[in-house]
């Protein structure tokens, strides 16, 4: 057990060493009584620009903890009991074959890591390249427009998150989050992710972390096969029997399906095999770029560029008056850039990316509008996916081909005018851009909702709808367009031994929740089967 203290505050000019004094005062104990002291969470309170403060959640271990908590008599002081226990009771069923994990994104990587740690010697297959080779392939695409359909921003070691901001924020409340963060740190991530209120690793560091986790899995008896694509599954009498990878059949009774939200050909294969799934809501819109200096000044006032503060971010939400649709910022990347994230020929999609230091000139974020099943045409579970494809194709054509993106200044977008020159914000998207009318690659109701949203967001961050801001089309991959249905044991309701997992299966949204879902699936396999070592 330990004591958890919430809502400890220090000013931007105070020293972090003062935090321990505040803890002792609140608990009515001396420094010598503290056996362990740990910062669980650090966040910035910038609601008052003239008095920015840091807010902390702290964990303390000391003697007679229950008595200390009772004496403190403070709603922000309580006994903390929930921890993630990595010790499981192993199942007694024998595996005929090594478990297979499809996908080396966060869900597959952490499912594979836990299985390897517990002696199950998983085989991980990944259609893309290992991260070192993948980086070269992606840089070539961004430079020349030559797309590799199997290894790109969506596919390859680390998943789509590796070429983003490496955000580790999540809304889920699960003790497994600590397990995931600890493994990231042991693999080379900065220790501050353990307590930062908005932790991120950055694509530059995340690439090294992902490689280290892969090497750990191999060291523990696992196997990772790159350029290995799942092409088919064989199901007999309601149970998985084998899979087909690169034309070769592999016996498999346990398959962790962590395919990511862009494996559209895999969705089609699963649908043809009558694996139960349903369409799922998501959001589409544009990437908005502003001056990072402007965002920092609006968020932090006179403290912008203070050495204790990093590049400012924002989180914006709005419901339109006309239709009630949600408009919101998504995957905000301070000091970052907009990147080409296509994974299919003739279809254009963007994403945001930041390095750990977040020190580029522009801030960018997806500004997206909620889409639901009533917006889709057709009667299959894949109709949301086809909706994405349709508008990505329009964006590709509008940009002129070769993955050149259509762009428009925010003011011109609001006034239905095609831009003719840039202001102070320079688009960062590569391989290139053209001034175009973004209304031609978005549904009309999305356009109208975005206009309402930008006007509302300008009330929250003055200058947000200024004509200097740049919009790049389009953003469609906010989450999976389908959900692969599973039971209480996290197995597909259509095939025993098939475990739909992570963001691609519709059960996560981001690196952390996907990784946690991978851990949960691995736990279910561990609790059913004996280890293989």
Same fold, 2-80 and 100-277+483-526: no
Domain boundaries, the chain: 2-80, 100-277+483-526, 282-475
Of the pLDDT bands very low, low, confident and very high (cuts 50, 70, 90), residue 84 is confident
Burial per residue of 361-388, b for 16 or more beta-carbon CB atoms within 10 angstroms, e otherwise: ebbbbbbbbbbeeebbeeeebbbbbebb
Residue 188 in tokens: 């080379």
* Cβ partners under 8 Å of residue 248, min gap 6: none
* Cβ partners under 8 Å of residue 9, min gap 6: 45, 53, 54, 55, 56
Q: What is the mean pLDDT of residues 188-217?
A: 95
User: Integer distance in angstroms from the first to the last C-alpha of the chain?
Assistant: 34
Listing DSSP states for 123-162 in one string gives: EEE-SS--HHHHHHHHHHHHHH----SSSSSSSSTT-GGG
Q: Mean pLDDT score of the chain, rounded to an integer?
A: 95
Q: Is 314 exposed, middle or buried (0-12, 13-18, 19+ CB in 10 A)?
A: middle
High-pLDDT (> 70) share of the chain, %: 99
What's the topology of domain 100-277+483-526?
A: FAD/NAD(P)-binding domain (3.50.50)
**Do 498 and 257 form a contact (C-beta atoms < 8 A)?**
yes
Listing DSSP states for 433-485 in one string gives: EEE--GGGGS-HHHHHHHHHHHHHHHHHSTTTTSTT-EEEEEE--SS-SEEE-
High-pLDDT (> 90) share of the chain, %: 93
- What is the rounded distance in angstroms from the CA atom of residue 532 to the CA atom of residue 397? 52
- What is the rounded distance in angstroms from the CA atom of residue 260 to the CA atom of residue 264? 9
Q: Which residue has the tokens 């669980």?
A: 40
Coil vs helix vs strand at 120: coil
Q: Which residue has the tokens 């990595």?
A: 86
Nearest-CA neighbor of 103 among 123, 133, 132? 123
Angle (CA) 298-475-457 rounded to 5° is 25
Burial per residue of 54-82, b for 16 or more beta-carbon CB atoms within 10 angstroms, e otherwise: bebbbbbebeebeebbeebeeeebeebee
Going through 18-128 in order, the beta strands assigned E by DSSP cover 34-45, 53-62, 77-80, 100-102, 123-125
pLDDT tens-place string over residues 19-49: 999 999 999 999 999 999 999 999 999 999 9
- What is the rounded distance in angstroms from the CA atom of residue 521 to the CA atom of residue 175? 15
Beta bridge partners of 34: 62
Beta bridge partners of 59: 4, 38
Residue 267 sits at φ, ψ, to 5 deg, of -55, -45
Residue 203 sits at φ, ψ, to 5 deg, of -65, -30
Cα-only R_g, the chain: 24
Is 90 exceeded by the pLDDT of residue 172? no
Kindly give the pairing relationship between strand 223-225 and strand 123-125. parallel
Q: How far is CA 181 from the centre of its chain?
A: 14
- What is the rounded distance in angstroms from the CA atom of residue 321 to the CA atom of residue 447? 14
**Do 104 and 214 form a contact (C-beta atoms < 8 A)?**
yes
pLDDT of residue 89: 87
Nearest-CA neighbor of 517 among 465, 480, 466? 480
Is 70 exceeded by the pLDDT of residue 319? yes
**Do 80 and 3 form a contact (C-beta atoms < 8 A)?**
yes
Nearest-CA neighbor of 82 among 160, 178, 146, 206? 178
Q: Domain 2-80: give its CATH code.
A: 3.30.70.2700
pLDDT tens-place string over residues 392-428: 999 999 999 999 999 999 999 999 999 999 999 999 9
**Do 141 and 211 form a contact (C-beta atoms < 8 A)?**
no
Evaluate the omega torsion of the peptide bond into residue 207 and state whether it is cis, within 30 degrees of 0: no
Of the pLDDT bands very low, low, confident and very high (cuts 50, 70, 90), residue 82 is low
290 versus 47: the higher-pLDDT residue is 290
Angle (CA) 285-290-293 rounded to 5° is 150
- What's the Cα-to-Cα distance from 390 to each of 30, 286, 440, 478, rounded to whole Å? 65, 15, 12, 16
The pTM of the full predicted model, rounded to 2 decimals, is 0.94
Residue 28 in tokens: 């009515």
pLDDT tens-place string over residues 222-245: 999 999 999 999 999 999 999 999
User: Of the given ranges (81-85, 166-170, 324-328), which has the lowest mean pLDDT?
Assistant: 81-85
- Residues in the chain, how many? 533
* Cβ partners under 8 Å of residue 222, min gap 6: 112, 115, 116, 121, 122, 123, 124
Kindly give the pairing relationship between strand 282-291 and strand 277-279. unpaired
- What is the rounded distance in angstroms from the CA atom of residue 216 to the CA atom of residue 231? 27
- What is the rounded distance in angstroms from the CA atom of residue 280 to the CA atom of residue 140? 33
Coil vs helix vs strand at 493: coil
Is 90 exceeded by the pLDDT of residue 155? yes
pLDDT of residue 448: 97
pLDDT tens-place string over residues 337-381: 999 999 999 999 999 999 999 999 999 999 999 999 999 999 999
Of the pLDDT bands very low, low, confident and very high (cuts 50, 70, 90), residue 165 is confident
Q: What is the mean pLDDT of residues 48-61?
A: 93
Beta bridge partners of 255: 100, 498
- What is the rounded distance in angstroms from the CA atom of residue 294 to the CA atom of residue 297? 5
């Amino acid at each position: 057990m330990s004591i958890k203290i919430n809502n400890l505050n220090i000013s931007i000019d105070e020293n972090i060493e003062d935090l321990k004094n505040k803890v002792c005062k609140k608990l009515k104990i001396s420094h010598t009584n503290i056996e362990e002291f740990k910062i669980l969470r650090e966040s910035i309170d910038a609601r008052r620009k003239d008095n920015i403060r840091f807010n902390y959640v702290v964990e303390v271990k000391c003697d007679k903890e229950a008595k200390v908590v009772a004496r403190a008599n403070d709603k922000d002081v309580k006994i903390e009991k929930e921890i993630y226990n990595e010790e499981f009771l192993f199942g007694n069923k024998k595996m005929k074959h090594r478990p297979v994990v499809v996908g080396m994104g966060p869900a597959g990587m952490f499912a594979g890591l836990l299985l390897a740690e517990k002696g199950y010697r998983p085989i991980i297959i990944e259609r893309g390249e290992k991260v070192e080779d993948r980086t070269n392939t992606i840089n070539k695409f961004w430079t020349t427009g030559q797309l590799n359909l199997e290894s790109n921003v969506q596919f390859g070691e680390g998943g789509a998150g590796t070429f983003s901001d490496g955000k580790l924020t999540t809304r889920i409340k699960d003790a497994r989050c600590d397990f995931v963060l600890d493994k990231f740190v042991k693999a080379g991530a900065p220790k501050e992710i353990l307590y930062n209120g908005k932790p991120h690793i950055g694509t530059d560091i995340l690439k090294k972390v992902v490689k280290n986790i892969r090497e750990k899995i191999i060291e523990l008896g696992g196997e990772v096969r790159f350029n290995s694509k799942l092409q088919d599954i064989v199901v007999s009498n309601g149970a998985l029997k084998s899979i087909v990878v690169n034309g070769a059949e592999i016996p498999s009774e346990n398959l962790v399906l962590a395919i990511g939200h862009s494996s559209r050909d895999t969705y089609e294969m699963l649908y043809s095999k009558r694996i139960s799934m349903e369409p799922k809501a998501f959001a589409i819109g544009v990437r908005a770029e502003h001056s990072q200096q402007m965002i920092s000044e609006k968020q932090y006032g006179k403290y912008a560029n203070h050495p204790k503060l990093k590049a400012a971010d924002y989180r914006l939400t709005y419901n339109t008056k006309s239709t009630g649709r949600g408009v919101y910022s998504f995957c905000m990347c301070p000091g970052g850039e907009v990147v080409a994230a296509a994974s299919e020929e003739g279809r254009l999609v963007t994403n945001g990316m930041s390095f750990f230091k977040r020190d580029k000139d522009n801030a960018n974020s997806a500004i997206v509008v909620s889409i639901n099943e009533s917006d889709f045409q057709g009667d299959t579970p894949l109709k949301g996916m086809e909706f994405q494809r349709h508008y990505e194709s329009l964006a590709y054509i509008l940009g002129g081909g070769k993955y050149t993106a259509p762009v428009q200044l925010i003011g011109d977008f609001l006034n239905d005018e095609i831009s003719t020159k840039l202001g102070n914000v320079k688009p960062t998207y590569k391989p290139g851009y053209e001034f175009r009318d973004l209304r031609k690659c978005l549904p009309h109701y999305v356009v109208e909702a975005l206009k309402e949203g930008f006007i509302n967001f300008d009330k929250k961050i003055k200058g947000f709808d200024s004509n200097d801001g740049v919009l790049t089309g389009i953003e469609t991959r906010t989450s999976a367009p389908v959900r692969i249905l599973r039971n209480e044991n996290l197995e597909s309701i259509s095939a025993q031994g098939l475990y739909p997992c992570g963001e691609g299966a519709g059960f996560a949204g981001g690196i952390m929740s996907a990784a946690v879902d991978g851990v949960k699936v691995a736990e279910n396999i561990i609790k059913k089967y004996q280890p293989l070592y």
